[in-house]
Structure 1
Amino acid sequence: MGLLKAKANTNKLKPLLTLLLLVTAAMGGIFTYQHLQHDFETLEGRTYSWSTLKGQWVVVNYFAPWCAPCLREMPELAKFNASLPSNTKLFAVNYDLKTLSELKEMTEKYNITIPVIVSSQSTALPMEKPPYLPATFIIGPEGKVVDTIMGELTAAHLTQRLQALRRE
């Protein structure tokens, strides 16, 4: 009699355990899906979505190692990055697609210390690739490009431009 009762209790638990397993799997899938959803990733492995950057000012600089003005402005961008205004992020994007290892090697070779976006087919940026370099885009708090600076710039120029845009 005890064996029949134990088997009956096990049969009652099976649907509950199956339901628990399905709920756990679904929650794991949702968490994984949300974790994988991002617009771009930096060389350091940080992922960003434009929706989470809303409300912030974002500066994106396109550069290439074959572009002398780009390399000249990198120390200026590093200087700007060291004293970023509040609510502001700075990223660089290599003009040419590079593998992760090529990108790491390049940033070390040219001492690029600002966050670099790893470009891929899935990278989503709110601007088109510029026709020439260097090119710097300022994205406003609403997530839209509000200014484009074509050509070499200094940290002071970028700071002044950002301040002017914030006042508008």
Structure 2
Amino acid sequence: MLLSQPKSNAGKIKPILFLVLLALVAFAGAYTYQRLQHDFETLDGTAYLWQDLEGKWVVVNYFAPWCAPCLREMPELVTFNHSLPDDTRLFAINYDLKTKPELKAMAEKFDIDLPVIISSPETKLPMQKPPYLPATFILGPDGKIKDTIMGEITATHLRQRLAELKGADE
């Protein structure tokens, strides 16, 4: 009588191991792809999708260091940013393309204490670049532009205009 050799499970383990490895690679690829998908990024490294901001009022201010009215209104925007209503977000964006280190240095130099969008060819905004500065855009909870303010603005004027737009939107 011949004794039969125990069957090896090694032949079964290899395909299972391959499938687990394949699933891990697919998951890692999908996760990385999702992390790279964004409409814009701020100096602090936060990536945003416009669709994630739906339901909020969003104020976007274009500025530049060579624009004297922009620099005069920046403290007003910082003040406004420190007292934002819960349903409102404020972002600043430099008119000219700058690298992240250049933008950080500029934000420090001019005490820009609010989220600054890194302007790059990949940055997606729901408005066209304005013809002159300063320019402030107010987007409603539906993501559509509700107002464009060309020229210098104060925190008080911005609060009043937002209140008017919110009242008209109800």
TM above 0.5, yes or no, is yes
* Map of 2:50 onto structure 1: 50
* Map of 2:145 onto structure 1: 145
Q: Which runs of 5+ in 1 are unaligned?
A: none
Task: Give the C-alpha shift of residue 74 in structure 1.
Answer: 0.4
- Greater helix share, structure number: 1
Q: Which amino acid aligns with 1:5?
A: P
Task: Give the C-alpha shift of residue 98 in structure 1.
Answer: 0.8
The aligned length equals: 166
Distance 2:144 2:122 in 1: 19
Q: Which amino acid aligns with 1:107?
A: A
Q: Which runs of 5+ in 2 are unaligned?
A: none
* Map of 2:77 onto structure 1: 77
Q: Which amino acid aligns with 2:6?
A: K
Give 1:12-23 correspondences, 5 Å limit. 12-23=12-23
Task: Give the C-alpha shift of residue 49 in structure 1.
Answer: 0.4
Distance 1:19 1:86 in 2: 46
Provide TM-score, normalisation by structure 1: 0.95
Distance 2:12 2:105 in 1: 60
Residue 61 of structure 2: SS of its match in structure 1? strand
Provide TM-score, normalisation by structure 2: 0.94
Q: Which runs of 4+ in 1 moved over 6 A?
A: none
Residue 143 of structure 2: SS of its match in structure 1? coil
Distance 1:125 1:40 in 2: 8
* Map of 1:66 onto structure 2: 66
Distance 1:50 1:147 in 2: 17
* Map of 1:5 onto structure 2: 6
| Identity fraction in percent | 64
